Every structure is written in C-alpha cells, then in structure tokens.
Amino acid sequence: MGFGTGALVLQQTSVAAPRFASISQVNGSSLDAFRNGADLPLCSHLQSHRNGIAQGSGQAGFATTRSSNKLLQTRIDSETSRVVAKIRKGKKSAETEYPWPEKLKGDEQEGYLEFLSGFKPLPTKPKPVTLPFERPLVDLENKIDEVRELANKTGMDFSEQIKELEQKYDQVRRDLYLHLTPVQRLSVARHPNRPTFLDHVLNITDKWVELHGDRGGYDDPALVCGIGKIEGMSFMFMGHQKGRNTKENIYRNFAMPTPNGYRKALRMMRHADHHGFPILSFIDTPGAYAGIKAEELGQGEAIAHNLREMFGLRVPIITTVIGEGGSGGALAIGCCDKMIMLENAVYYVASPEACAAILWKTAAAAPKATEALRITGMELMKLDVVDEVIPEPLGGAHSDPVLTSKNIKATILKYMKELLKLDPETLMKQRVAKFRQMGAVEEGVEVDAHIKRNMKKREAPLGSEDPRLLTSGLQQSLDVKISAVEGTTSHVNASATRSVE
C-alpha cells in the first residue's frame, strides 16, 4: 500500500474522499452503519481469501486507518488527505478487503449473514441512460423543465401549461411503453441499469447467503448461487450476474459463465436436491463464454451435464428470465417446471446480431432478425415455451426495481405453492412432459419418394420388430399422468392437436 513498515499511526480527524454517499449516516453502532451501506475497514492481518466480495466494485487500495468507532474508509490520494501509516509487526502483506466490520458492537441475534455479502449498493447512483427510442420522452421532459425554469425566473404563472405538458408526457410514455416492438424490448433487456440477479435476490429474500466454488479449481463470478429465505421457506437461488458498471462487468465477465460456473451450478443443484431446497434460477446472460480455456475445460460438456441432471432433480425448479437469455448458456440452468419471463426479457437461440450476420450476411439486418426470431416473452408464450410473462413497471424494470422484484416474488410464490403439493415422481414426469411437447413437426403426410431417395430403406423383414414397442413417443407422453396441477394439461392437448394435422 505504499507506506513502509514501522511508521506511526496518526489519528486522522478529517475524512478525505469518502467512498460511500451514506457516510453522513454513520453514527451509533457499527452494525447500523454497515447496514446503511458504509464501507468497511480492512483487516490487514487476516490473510485468507476474499470472501465473496465483488472485487470489481471494490475498493483497491484502502488504508487501514479508522477513527475510534466510526467505520470510515479513507482513500489515501495524494492530493487531499494526510499520510497515515500503521505500525506493522512482521512483513507487510497484501491488503484483502472483507465485507465485515472489524468491531461488532453488541450481541445481535440476527443479521450475521449480511456481513458476508460482498454485493453492496453502488457508491454513486448510476448515470441515467436513454435508449434511442426514448428520445421523444427525454425531449418532452426537457421542455417541461425549461418551462418550469422560465416560470421560476420570470415569476409568471405557467402552471396550466406545465400541467398540460405533463399530461402529454404521461400519455406519450404510456403509449410508448405499452407497445414496445421486439427490437425495443431487446434494448431494454440489455439496458445497463437493469436490475441484476443479486438486486432481485436482496429485494425478495429475508435472509441470503451466497455459496461459492465448484470444488474443481475456480469460483466463477458470472454465475452466483446461494440460499435464501422467502416467507419462512428456504430456496436455492442461482443465476447469472451482470455487472452494474463497467468495472463490475469485467469482474463478472459480462455474465458469461465458464465451465466452472456451470459445474458450480450443478453442485448446488445436487446440494439442493439432497437437502430439499426448491430451486429458483434466474437467467440473464448473453451466452456462455467462448474462450480457449473454456473450450479446453469442456464448455459443451458442462452445459450438457447440467441439462441432463436437471431432469433428475426431485425438487421443484422455477426459472425466471430477467434479462437476456442467451441460448445454451441460459438453458444450462433453465430446465424447469415453470418458466417465467419478465415483459421485456428475451430468450434466443442465437443473438440477433449473430443471426443477422449469418443469414442476412450483414450486421445491419439485426432488427429484421430480432423480429423474425420471436424472442420476446409474449411470442414464446404462444409457442408454449413460457408459462407466464410478468408485466414490468412503465419505463422498464430499471425505473422501479423494487416493484419488479415484488412482482417476481408474487409469481414465484404462486407457482411454488402449486408445485410443492406434488410428489417427486410426478414432478419429474411433469418436467419431462413439459419439454416433450416443445417443437413442431409435420408428420402423417406421405412424403414424395424422390425426397427420401437417399435414405436407407427398410431391409428388415416385416414383423421382426415388436409392434407394441413402436407406438409413437408422443403417444407415450400423453399417457403420463399429470394430475393435480391445472394449466399443464393444456400443453399436452395443444401438442396433440398440433402434430395430428
């Protein structure tokens, strides 16, 4: 950290460059201060591994100074503060930051798990980003501000005009957000300020602890797993975590997991099955990471094993797509009993840019690809892939994250209550049946002989196969008993009518 050993501690009275805006709330016990988001001092003598800290949003280079009871961090930049150093015995060691305070005041019964979470509110409020299609709204808002300013400056009464403009603003906003096109929804799904997985989890759960590691060499920050409690029931949460700013994004690898991330998810799913936690997974990824190391470690294999294992779990699984769902990387934690999507979330097999570059040979055709691929929630609901689409507040999820989380929680609990009534065998069969009916084929129509001229004709003598065993697979899945849960029978009926054409 830049100061040598053996220097003296100077009691620092002023705070230079406070890291968190909530510094003014620091008073009283260290616990309150912690909960209000104040930053924490380092324990330089503890050398073990960072405990799940979001290193990206963190604080490199912190001094180990603190005034008596306050939890203030002071950044030692050369311009402002005084130099403070500490007497250190022994060799100087690397600074590690821990999310917990050094001194805990009082005997608190609850709230210990919160100390372990490295995911803190951002120090600065994120800059508002306007998407291209929101431009008219922004113009209107600027005009309203102008009129207001004018009113203040001149003292004349413009309240009627302001009211009119505000009404117009509301109307335009409503019209805009109630009728978003798929291209606009895609840009909202990729919005930099969209609430991330951990934002939702911390809003939904009463208690939360993040668990780490794939026991095979790496702890992938892109895929986060943990246990949380909602309304007295504990669940296993897992999801892709995007960063909230550029630094975090680099730490989280833009929510593109490596095989280690998927193996961590697999371990957690088995753990949940073993201990009886239902699984709630949240999808928000552009896809799995494509890199040399990822390929060598077996990216395809990790995804494949996740897919297969998820159908053998005896606990309910509910998947929510909160942002982008990028093909295999999303499906690896998305084989579920119920699939939920947010209104502006998308789920695609290939990103529209990739699709455009391949099929239309030009990246400029991305809007056309977005429309053609049918990636939004409502379109997927028509294809029986998605069970429910949760409406987002006007303006997208980033305009009101708390309300979005509340809606998600209500929907999840609704489905969970139904699923918890089923016994494990029925649950597994139902999950297989849900995916069994996805897909659309033409059959029953006699195909022109010329079209199948190169397919190998039947050579086995008639009657050599067991006729009972050759009933179509669809028939078999229709025999599956899916009792006691409404809404699932419609899947099976729809598929029956679809294939018999």
Q: Which of residues 462-481 bind another protein (CB under 8 A)?
A: 464-466, 469-470, 472-474, 476
Nearest to another protein of 207, 368 (CB atom): 368
Nearest to another protein of 143, 305 (CB atom): 305
Whole-angstrom distance, CA of residue 433 vs CA of residue 415? 17
Nearest to another protein of 100, 254 (CB atom): 254
128 binds another protein (CB under 8 A): no
Least Cβ distance, residue 493 to another protein (angstroms): 17
What is the length of the chain? Answer: 501
- Site string (210-249) toward another protein, x via CB under 8 A: ------------------------------------x--x
- Site string (308-327) toward another protein, x via CB under 8 A: xxxxx-------------xx
Under rule CB under 8 A, which residues in 430-449 are in contact with another protein?
A: 431-432, 435-436, 438-447
425 binds another protein (CB under 8 A): no
Least Cβ distance, residue 301 to another protein (angstroms): 4
CB 118 within 8 A of CB 99: yes
Least Cβ distance, residue 457 to another protein (angstroms): 7
56 binds another protein (CB under 8 A): no
Stretch that binds another protein, among 17-25, 55-63, 130-138, 302-310 (CB under 8 A): 302-310
Least Cβ distance, residue 189 to another protein (angstroms): 12
Q: What three-state secondary structure class fits 485?
A: coil
- DSSP per-residue letters across 226-260: EEEEETTEEEEEEEE---SSHHHHHHTGGG---HH
72 binds another protein (CB under 8 A): no
Least Cβ distance, residue 11 to another protein (angstroms): 41
Distance of CA 419 to the CA centre of its chain: 23
133 binds another protein (CB under 8 A): no
- DSSP per-residue letters across 316-346: -EEEEEEEEEEHHHHHTT---SEEEEETT-E
- Site string (359-398) toward another protein, x via CB under 8 A: xxx-x-x--xx--xxxx----x--x-x-------------
Cβ contacts of residue 297 below 8 Å, gap of 6+? 258, 259, 260
CA distances from 271 to 28, 274, 316, 327, 336 (A): 40, 5, 14, 25, 17
148 binds another protein (CB under 8 A): no
328 binds another protein (CB under 8 A): yes
Nearest to another protein of 186, 230 (CB atom): 186
Whole-angstrom distance, CA of residue 235 vs CA of residue 389? 22
Under rule CB under 8 A, which residues in 261-290 are in contact with another protein?
A: 286-290
Whole-angstrom distance, CA of residue 96 vs CA of residue 103? 17
First CA to last CA across the chain, in angstroms?
Answer: 73
Tokens for 281? 């997974």
CB 404 within 8 A of CB 342: yes
130 binds another protein (CB under 8 A): no
Under rule CB under 8 A, which residues in 176-215 are in contact with another protein?
A: 190, 192
CB 375 within 8 A of CB 353: no
CB 16 within 8 A of CB 75: yes
125 binds another protein (CB under 8 A): no
